[in-house]
């Protein structure tokens, strides 16, 4: 396969699979750690209205969704890419970081969570996935 096409496929696969992992964890999150009574997590408005009821435990699954979604997406992209594997993994991390930044502006989360999420869930996970793939393929 043409290396350029394979690299494009790597990015698309990383974004799609990473997003799927992220949403899967978010969707099962409330069954693992139940939401506070009266919180509707099916809409942004429902989350905004009930965010003040969240305790620190309610932020565990969103953090895991962001971190693992980014890690898996970056791992897949780096694994499929023919060249610049670490750069592609970091690119996936940056893409998901941009989504995380937009989420911080859309949802009123506590500052501690925004800082933790933005600093540890995206670029570090992309880097870790990229380094893991380059170590495996060497």
CB neighbour list of residue 14: distance below 8 Å, 6 or more residues apart: 73, 74, 75, 76, 77, 78, 80, 88, 89, 92
Q: What is the pLDDT of residue 137?
A: 58
Q: What is the pLDDT of residue 30?
A: 87
Rounded to the nearest angstrom, the gap between the alpha carbon of residue 46 and the centroid of all alpha carbons in its chain is 22
**What's the DSSP call for residue 90?**
H
Tell me the pLDDT tens digit for each residue of 113-126: 999 999 999 999 99
Residue 128 CA to residue 109 CA, distance in Å, equals 26
Residue 42 CA to residue 47 CA, distance in Å, equals 8
Give yes or no for a contact between 54 and 37, defined as CB atoms under 8 angstroms apart: no
Q: What's the pTM value of the predicted model, to 2 decimals? A: 0.92
Overall number of domains in the chain: 1
Residues of the chain with pLDDT under 50: none
Q: What is the pLDDT of residue 127?
A: 97
Domain that holds residue 46: 3-137
């Amino acid at each position: 396969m043409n290396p350029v096409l394979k690299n494009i496929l790597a990015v698309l696969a990383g974004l799609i699979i990473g997003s799927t992992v992220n949403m899967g964890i978010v969707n099962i999150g409330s069954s693992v750690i139940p939401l506070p009574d009266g919180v509707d997590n099916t809409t942004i408005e429902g989350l905004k209205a009930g965010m003040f009821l969240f305790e620190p435990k309610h932020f565990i699954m969103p953090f895991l969704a962001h971190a693992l979604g980014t890690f898996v997406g970056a791992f897949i992209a780096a694994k499929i890419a023919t060249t610049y594997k670490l750069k592609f993994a970091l690119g996936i991390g940056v893409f998901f970081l941009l989504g995380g930044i937009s989420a911080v502006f859309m949802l009123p989360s506590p500052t501690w969570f925004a800082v933790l999420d933005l600093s540890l869930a995206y670029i570090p996970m992309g880097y870790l996935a990229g380094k893991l793939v380059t170590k495996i393929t060497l």
